[in-house]
């Protein structure tokens, strides 16, 4: 039970870290677009609108990252146990 709690905490931390990286990347892209966009008309110099709406596709992506992390760690653990038992028979 402790291992499961640790894995869930690690998966949650991984998902949060991926979200933070995604947000920082979006901010950097926004700054780059604002800096390099040519002014076509003097009245069109208003900033880009900030949208903070909930995206179900983004939420599903983060859920997928969470579940994927758990699956990869579980498969890796099973493979390491199999390798350990195989090597323990030889030595």
Give pLDDT tens digits for 1-38.
787 888 888 888 988 888 888 888 888 877 777 776 56
CA distance 63 to 8: 12
pTM of the predicted structure, to 2 decimals: 0.58
Residue 74 has pLDDT above 60, yes or no: yes
- The residue extents of the domains of the chain are 2-36+55-90
Which among 57, 59, 74 is positioned nearest to 7, based on CA atoms? Answer: 74
Residue in the block written with tokens 């009245």? 43
**Cβ atoms of residues 15 and 62 within 8 Å:** yes
């Amino acid at each position: 039970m402790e291992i499961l709690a640790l894995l869930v905490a690690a998966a949650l931390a991984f998902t949060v870290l991926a979200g933070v990286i995604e947000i920082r990347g979006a901010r950097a892209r926004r700054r780059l677009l604002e800096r390099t966009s040519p002014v076509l008309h003097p009245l069109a110099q208003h900033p880009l609108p900030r949208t903070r709406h909930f995206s179900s596709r983004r939420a599903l992506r983060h859920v997928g990252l969470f579940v994927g992390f758990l699956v990869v760690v579980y498969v890796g653990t099973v493979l390491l146990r199999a390798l350990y038992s195989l090597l323990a028979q030889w030595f």
